[in-house]
Every structure is written in structure tokens, then in C-alpha cells.
Amino acid sequence: MKELGIPGLLLVFAGAAIATWVAGVWLAKATDVLDDRFGLGETIGGMVLLSVTGGLPELAITVSAATSGHLDIAAGNLIGGVAVQTLVLVIADRFVRGPLPLSTVAGSLMPALEGVLVIVVIAITVMSGFLPASAAVGPLGAGSIAIFVAWMVGMLVLGRCRDRKDLALVIPADATACASARLGNLPDEGDGESSEGTAKAVAIFVGASVVTLVAGVLLEQSGDRLADLMGINGVLFGATFLALASALPEISTAITGVEMKSYTLVFGDIFGGNAFQLILFVLADLLAGQPVLTHEGRANAWIGMIGLGMTAIYVAGIILRKPRRYWGLGADSWAALIFYGLGVWGFLVVSS
């Protein structure tokens, strides 16, 4: 990448961003089929399958940044990505058809529990930034270990709650009808080609995951070089432009999930991805040989709290279940959007 100028780097960055978008669409389609085949349910499918694959750009960026010594970019991308990815729910809400907002058409309280897990993990992340580097076990910071433990416990609890009938919500009939045919050409379960359809879905899932991972490497390398040439602060770049580019799989999968009326899958993807990407601090510590969260700084802590606040707003929206939208968005989406806008203004003030 060093031999490329700004035009060439912009071309690579844009191409990698487009690749992650297209791969995200196919990941959503394949995950929906695999959920049906293996009985995972939309919530667990989103929390596990989509969140892990959607986090592949963050994984690639974290590996590249940590190994090259750009610890501020690694921390900024992981923490800043939470707020940007939560903003995807606003986009998804806009694509919901009908009078009800996204948080109301979700057919379960499971997304609210997922949001609580995200809030806990973010809180640990922000607090861990205040710990000294000496609070570590080898290269692993105490905060990274705590994040991983909290995530594991949370996933076990969510797995136990998956089949609880009392978490189901009654929603209007026009919002519960699933699409009669899957988007694209993936066969559904009743077409007499179950094994062939499953194999095809797995192949598409793996292929789209590989594309997402490679695109993530290109995003980090071209983006890091662009930040250097354009004189952009590493924390600011990682928490904004790079976080937005790496959130493209979530945007495409969220829009596709809404079109398939898999609303709990959308929440599982976003909340699951936010929780999963923060456990990547463990990998970042191992690659860097030191705790990366000590490089968090005030700016990253600030934008981390933006993500926490936005998640809390959507958890409240799922519980309160407002029955109408305002100018195309639910009340919680408007609140999250305003909160994000004010938070970004404060982030620019803090980072300067």
C-alpha cells in the first residue's frame, strides 16, 4: 500500500467497502436458511453466525493494527464500531414496512437481553481503560479478561433463554408473516432439496465470510495509509471512517433481514456483533504483547459511552413497544439518532 497515492488508496478502500456490503447481503440470506435447517432461531443465528462473520472486518483490522503497532487505531475501531453499528438499527427501522417501528415488530424479548449484555460489556471496556498497564496477566489486560468472561457468561444465559415461551411477544398479524420466498435463489426447506440447499447455504456462508475477512484487511491497510497521508488522528479515523466502513456488512445484512421480515435476526446481528467485537481486545493484547485498552484514552471512552447509551435506548424501546412511527422512524430510533449526533459533537470536542 505504501507505493499507492491517495487516488489509488481511495479506490482500494471503496472497493473493499463494496465487497463487504455485497458479502453482508449473502451472509444474511445464508444465515436465514441455516437458522431454519439447524433450528437455531433468529436470535441465536444473529448473535452467533451473523455477529461472528459480521465482525470479520474488525478482526482483520485488529490483527493488522495490533501487529503493526497502531494500538490507538485498534482500540478506536473496536470501541467506536459499537456506536456506528448501533446506528444501523436506525437505518433498518427506516426500511420496515408498515406503521410499527422495528423494536415493536420484534417477536421476542430476547433482543432486550442481548442489549443488556452489550451494555455490561461496554461498561467493562470503558472502566478498563482507566486501569494501569501493570494490571495485566502476561500480555492480557485485566479488562480484556473481564470482557471475555462476561461475554461467555452472557452467551450461556442467552442460550438457556432461547426456548422460553414467556419471552415471546404478541405482535400484529401483518408484522408476523414471513416472506413466502427467500431473497435470492437459496432454496427453502420445503422444496424437496433440503440437503442440497443446506450445502449451498454453507458454501455461500463460507465464501461470503472469506470475502468479508479479506476486505477487512484491505480496509485497514488502505485506511491507515490514507490517515497518514491526510494527517488524520488515528483515534478519530479508527472510531469514525474505519468503523463506518467495517460496519457495512451489518448495514447490508440488517436491510436484507428487514426485507425478509426477520426482525429479531436484525437485533441479534447488531447486538451480537457489538458484544463479540469487544472480546477481540483479548486477541489484540496477545498480538501486541501488551494491554491495548490502556491506549483507550478519553476520546474512545467517550464514544464507547455513546454506544452504551444508544443500546439502552433500544432496550427501552423493545420493552415499551411504542405502537407508531414518526416520520418513518420509531421514537427510540429518533432518540438514538439525536443521542448519536450530540455524542459525535462531544467526541470531536474531546478528541481535539
Span 41-69, pLDDT tens digits: 555 555 566 666 666 777 777 787 788 77
Residue bearing cell 490483527:
63
All structural domains of the chain with their residue ranges = 6-176+195-351
Tell me 179's DSSP state: P
User: Which set of grid coordinates corresponds to residue 61?
Assistant: 483490522
Q: Give the mean model confidence (pLDDT) for residues 235-264.
A: 75
Q: Is 2 exposed, middle or buried (0-12, 13-18, 19+ CB in 10 A)?
A: exposed
d(CA 138, CA 313): 37
- 76, amino acid identity: G
d(CA 221, CA 60): 10
Q: What is the mean pLDDT of the chain?
A: 80
Q: What is the pTM of this model?
A: 0.78
State yes or no: pLDDT of 242 exceeds 60: yes
Question: Which CATH number, 3.30.70.2860, 3.40.50.300, 3.30.2320.80, 1.20.1420.30, labels domain 6-176+195-351?
Answer: 1.20.1420.30
Model confidence over 279-308: pLDDT tens digits?
A: 889 988 998 888 888 877 788 889 899 999
